[in-house]
Amino acid sequence: MIKDIAVHLTGSQEDATRLAHAAALARALDTHLTGLQVHEMPEALAITDPSGSAFLQQLIAESVDRAVAVTHKLAPMFEATGINHELRRLDLYPGQAGTALAYEVRLSDLFVGTRPYGDPLKQQRIEEAVLFESGRPCLFVPPAHAAPVRYSSVLVAWKNTREAAVALAAALPLLRQATEVTVAVIEESASEQRREAPDGDIGRYLSRHGINAEIRLVAGWTDVTGAILNEAEKSAADLIVLGAYGHSRLREWALGGVTRDILSRATVPVFTAR
């Protein structure tokens, strides 16, 4: 169930894109909308006591003025949606944004942000942190992508893994709203040799949730990303649902190959969860 959608705001040109997608979802699902305006303070303030420096005090004043200007720009955009909402500003030092944003998102049901590796502000580490640390599903939108009234054609990239199951369960409210749902079952070995029927299993699961889906077995591809994007194009999907795979590297999360590639190359929004 999705009752509160959090949207990442930065003061960039992508705010309008992210807000449009978040607002469209909020209308379709009848949810509350929470705007999280991330304002990064000057880095010098994080390492220096500004109380005795007129120059640092000036930096603070200028930084606050910029943040206030962004808030004043965003407020009427939220009002224009006609949706029950709140707009919150997070004043953070560089390096804190990802963890702080994840902390806030935990009390929402869905996060909307610009897709990693397509963010014009190069903030992919922030978006990755929300995905891996918040415990909440994320909708990542390509830059400047026009928001539909609702996502009418959805492609689910399915493989029987924990990550894919988490993403599928979280996406059920969106799948119920869709006109067409296509499930691409990614086959890496012969399921018949294991006496499994992955197409039947996933079809039955979705039907029990009131979702009539077309199941497609996708086999013979060495490029899994290419296979998923090909199915998305064939089905004219306006949303891809995908489990988020990753691994730990020097205590930092890094997205796995297929997830990273999809978020780099997809021309439509990607709904993912970890």
Q: How far apart are CA 143 and CA 204, in angstroms?
A: 36
- The residue ranking higher by pLDDT, 132 or 42, is 132
Query: 153, exposed or middle or buried, with CB in 10 Å at 0-12, 13-18, 19+?
Result: middle
Check if the beta carbon of residue 114 is closer than 8 Å to that of residue 143.
Answer: yes
Q: How far apart are CA 199 and CA 273, in angstroms?
A: 22
Q: Are domains 4-141 and 153-273 of this chain identical in fold? A: yes
Of the spans 31-45, 183-197, 207-221, which averages the highest pLDDT?
A: 207-221
- The residue ranking higher by pLDDT, 250 or 189, is 189
Q: Is the pLDDT of residue 68 over 90?
A: yes
Check if the beta carbon of residue 5 is closer than 8 Å to that of residue 109.
Answer: yes
What six digits make up the tokens of 67? 């943040």
Q: Is the pLDDT of residue 146 over 80?
A: yes
Of the spans 48-57, 109-118, 163-172, which averages the highest pLDDT?
A: 163-172
Binned at pLDDT 50, 70 and 90, residue 213 comes out as very high
Length of the chain (residues): 274
pLDDT digits (tens, 9 = 90+) for 76-91: 999 999 999 999 999 9
The secondary structure of 150-166 as a DSSP string is: S--EEEEEE-SSHHHHH
- Domain residue extents for the chain: 4-141, 153-273
pLDDT digits (tens, 9 = 90+) for 216-267: 998 877 788 889 999 999 999 999 999 987 654 433 444 557 888 888 889 9
Nearest CA among 143, 108, 132 for reference residue 10? 143
Q: How far apart are CA 107 and CA 180, in angstroms?
A: 30
What CATH number labels 4-141? 3.40.50.620
pLDDT at residue 175, rounded to an integer: 97
For the segment(s) 153-273, the CATH number from 3.40.50.620, 3.10.690.10, 3.40.50.720, 3.40.710.10 is 3.40.50.620
Q: How far apart are CA 136 and CA 154, in angstroms?
A: 20
Q: Is the pLDDT of residue 46 over 60?
A: no
Binned at pLDDT 50, 70 and 90, residue 156 comes out as very high
